[in-house]
Structure 1
């Protein structure tokens, strides 16, 4: 399907836009030794750092996946396990690159609470799905539209918050999602009032050609709702298809991972090429970072 540039028109809940610095390099804390590369797969030798930790704060347990706010019970099936569940838990969450992935505790306009995932793309900007920051067609009075606030907890491991947290009420998305609810334009951003990303580092992102994406491994880390609250889980698998607007892969995900970075690891560098949002019987999918998405992420980056 051809892209529609008009549907990539940026919108902000607070009215203002961020500037657009040049470059797509990872954060200063983001360089990783090239020996960790194995055919594009994020090597998980440093994933584990002690026992798994469960959150003990009752108000953080059992929050629903933000996808169900827009899609109802269907939202739970929008992200899928493809075959067997091959996800592994990450407990070394204070290490790069795991610390760039953030647990999101979302408060909607009606005060309801939800979970999602985001990833740092700059010092105070996180990429995420559009349906994380803007709820469509919920059918619940007072719920639709921009969410009220999002608490961002980078590198969270259950009750452990190695970089603390910061709450934002400053969001971005595009008209293709906020006006049309079109899944092909389901991406957005969270702008923080602090430069927490200077502590965590961030992922690069790029507008790659079809051949590069097809040859990439889709690495995804996020905060799924079927696991102990606030725990980080990772899987990687091959890209199986790509078109102008979407990328499809067999990487396992579950509701709560909406907004995760789908990134490649090559030549010691990590670059996001899609924003995870949906699933299906044979593959999961994310919004492709094409030229228009890339331009918006650059404009939202700060």
Structure 2
């Protein structure tokens, strides 16, 4: 298992704008934010954090993401926060791709490493610190939790990719699989963050068109991805946003696996207002 880690920096003045960054697209149906755009000048910062910078890849915005925000955050040695979340309605998923972090959630402490996954409900009291001597990087996906009367709210969940058995998609002989950190029949959860994996040559063999909004971050490999009516080349470090009902499919290009971290909103009525 390998995970792409953005390193910031800037392209040299001799670089062509139409090279890596030239693949950036922003449309009514989808967006592509190439890995190279996660540079020093696009980094953001937050109050109540020490030694942290982040790249905001998605946020609720008219004509863009409606249900979630997505950060890739870099924490320096000794950095972190005792009060990381300002919104009391926000639930979160953290997924670590580099270094080591110490998570405290509701009185328990968890040591996180590359491949660690943490779900934090909106009622959780949590903090995050980098007590190591190296920079740590993690994905931070946030959503306003949609409560349902009579349905229990989720608990804190911390696990690791290696401890979750991937589920083979039907009829694919394992060429296409999904690592699901939360059971699909657990209706207390209103979002899923999974890892989708394709062996070289694997495909989504039809244009998926569905109500779930998507965020996708390519962790490893490359592919040609169908976004609405456009086939777009994507590679490790690229981010894609797909609005609800945007057709999608892909061909994994090889020579190694193609894997991405996937967000989708699930298990709730479509709001009518």
Q: Same fold (TM over 0.5)?
A: no
TM-score, normalised by the number of residues in structure 1: 0.28
Report which of the two has the higher share of strand.
Answer: 2
TM-score, normalised by the number of residues in structure 2: 0.30
Report which of the two has the higher share of helix.
Answer: 1
User: Taking CA–CA contacts closer than 8 Å with sequence separation of 6 or more, which of the two structures ends up with the larger relative contact order?
Assistant: 1
In terms of Rg, which structure is larger?
A: 2
